[in-house]
């Protein structure tokens, strides 16, 4: 009997709990086994909550799918992988770059072969379950067209917690000659703004007035801001904002299939939100009973 075989035999004798059918220890270190009894509690504490959530959602989603008399196909799973790949990569990415980005994503999220396959199947089932409630409205498609192909506006922003601070900044900058306002506004953003854009001198990405991800007060003034013109003070949920106009980017002609492409993009976003909400409802409605001590600790202390 070799040294490794003898070590495995010792491990098999010591460890009779939660071991695979082969009876082999999960790890050998310096010729000695590290048993499942030693590994399992740490695995449970480190990742037990995430694994339990996945298993619970998998089981409940499959049960709901069965109750509805529905099923998913290999094509549905392939579609989920295509969506995931599109979210990770960009237009023009080479096949080799795409493969590398997917590998990095899987490593970052701890998605080995088993969990990756389960993720695709789970998403396919959840998407099927929410499909009928996610048809975009005509208004949403119209807004999507405006965001994608309409004019956009470039501006800088300063956000303060107190209205008085915004008032003082507005007074200082509005008193300056227009040609010096951009530099002064950027410097003030570095010093005083509480918005994440402060590190860019308050510079925002080009914004469409139809993009509802931005506050309505901000979108409402964009079309009135000429270069180096200040907005009035705008009340936000988290403070008070001042905008400085930079430039306008003209809209682009929409291709023939633009409406359908925008509709599909909006549906995909609506489905993602609905899928997450459904998964949360399932977890609340049927929580598991966890007997293993380490996994119960992880479950009770999950975010």
In three state form, how does the secondary structure of 105-129 look? HHHHHCCCHHHHHHHHHHHHHHHHH
**Other C-beta atoms lying within 10 Å of the C-beta of residue 297:** 16
pLDDT of residue 264: 94
Could you report the per-residue pLDDT of 184-240, keeping only the tens digit for each?
999 999 999 999 999 999 999 999 999 988 999 999 999 999 999 999 999 999 899
Beta bridge partners of 15: none
What tens digit of pLDDT does each residue of 135-182 get? 999 999 999 999 999 999 999 999 999 999 999 999 999 999 999 999
> What's the pLDDT score for residue 35?
87
Distance in angstroms (rounded) separating the CA atoms of residues 79 and 85: 10
> What is the SS3 assignment for 48?
helix
pLDDT category of residue 72 using cuts at 50, 70 and 90: very high
Separation CA 229–CA 212 (nearest Å): 23
- What pLDDT score does 123 carry? 97
CB 129 within 8 A of CB 61: yes
Residue located via tokens 């306002």: 181
Angle at alpha carbon of residue 49, lines to 47 and 54, rounded to 5°:
100
In angstroms, rounded to a whole number, what is the distance separating the alpha carbons of residues 158 and 233?
10
Q: Report the predicted TM-score, pTM, of the whole model to 2 decimal places.
A: 0.74
Give the Cα-Cα-Cα angle 257, 259, 261 (nearest 5 degrees). Answer: 70
Do residues 124 and 77 make contact, with C-beta atoms less than 8 angstroms apart? yes
- The predicted structure's pLDDT at residue 11: 40
Q: What is the CA radius of gyration of the chain?
A: 27
Q: Indicate the SS3 state at residue 292.
A: coil
In order of their start, the domains of the chain are 3-34 (no CATH), 68-136+258-290 (no CATH), 151-249 (3.10.50.40)
- Note whether 183 and 156 are within 8 A (CB): no
At 261-299, the pLDDT tens digits run 999 999 999 999 999 999 999 999 898 999 989 989 999
Per cent of the chain over pLDDT 90 is 75
For residue 101, what pLDDT band results from cuts at 50, 70 and 90?
very high
12-61 pLDDT per residue, tens: 444 444 445 557 888 888 988 888 888 888 889 888 899 999 999 999 99
Residue partners of 138: CB distance under 8 A and separation at least 6:
none
Would you state the structure tokens that stand for residue 1, as one six-digit string?
A: 């009997």
Look at residue 9 and tell me whether its pLDDT is greater than 80: no
Query: In which band, very low, low, confident or very high, does the pLDDT at 92 lie, cut at 50, 70 and 90?
Result: confident
Mean pLDDT for the chain overall: 89
Structure confidence at residue 173 (pLDDT): 96
**What's the residue count for the chain?**
303
Q: Which pLDDT score, from 0 to 100, does residue 39 have?
A: 87
The pLDDT value given to residue 22: 58
Q: Strands 32-34, 152-160: parallel, antiparallel or unpaired by DSSP? A: unpaired
Q: What is the pLDDT of residue 75?
A: 96
- pLDDT score at 7: 42
Instruction: In whole angstroms, give the CA distance from residue 182 to residue 180.
Output: 6
């Amino acid at each position: 009997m070799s040294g490794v075989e003898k070590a495995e035999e010792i491990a098999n004798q010591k460890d009779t709990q939660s071991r695979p059918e082969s009876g082999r220890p999960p790890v050998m270190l310096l010729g000695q086994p590290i048993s499942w009894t030693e590994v399992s509690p740490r695995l449970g504490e480190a990742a037990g909550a995430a694994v339990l959530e996945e298993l619970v959602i998998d089981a409940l989603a499959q049960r709901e799918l069965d109750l509805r008399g529905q099923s998913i196909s290999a094509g549905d799973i392939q579609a989920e992988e295509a969506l995931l790949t599109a979210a990770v990569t960009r237009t023009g990415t080479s096949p080799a770059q795409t493969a590398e980005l997917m590998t990095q994503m899987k490593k970052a999220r701890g998605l080995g072969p088993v969990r990756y396959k389960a993720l695709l199947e789970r998403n396919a089932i959840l998407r099927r379950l929410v499909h009928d409630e996610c048809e975009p409205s005509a208004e949403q498609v119209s807004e999507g067209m405006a965001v994608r192909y309409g004019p956009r506006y470039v501006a800088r922003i300063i956000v303060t917690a107190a209205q008085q601070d915004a008032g003082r900044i507005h007074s200082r900058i509005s008193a300056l000659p227009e040609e010096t306002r951009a530099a002064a506004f950027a410097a003030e953003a570095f010093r005083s703004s509480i918005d994440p854009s402060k590190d860019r001198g308050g510079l925002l990405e080009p914004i469409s007035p139809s993009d509802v991800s931005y506050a309505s007060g901000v979108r409402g003034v964009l079309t009135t801001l000429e270069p180096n013109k200040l907005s009035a003070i705008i009340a936000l949920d988290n403070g008070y904002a001042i905008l400085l106009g930079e430039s306008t980017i003209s809209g682009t002609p929409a291709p023939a299939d633009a409406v359908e492409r925008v509709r599909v993009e909006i549906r995909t976003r609506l489905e993602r939100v609905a899928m997450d909400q459904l998964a949360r409802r399932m977890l609340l409605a049927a929580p598991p009973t966890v007997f293993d001590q380490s996994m119960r600790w992880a479950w009770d202390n999950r975010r």
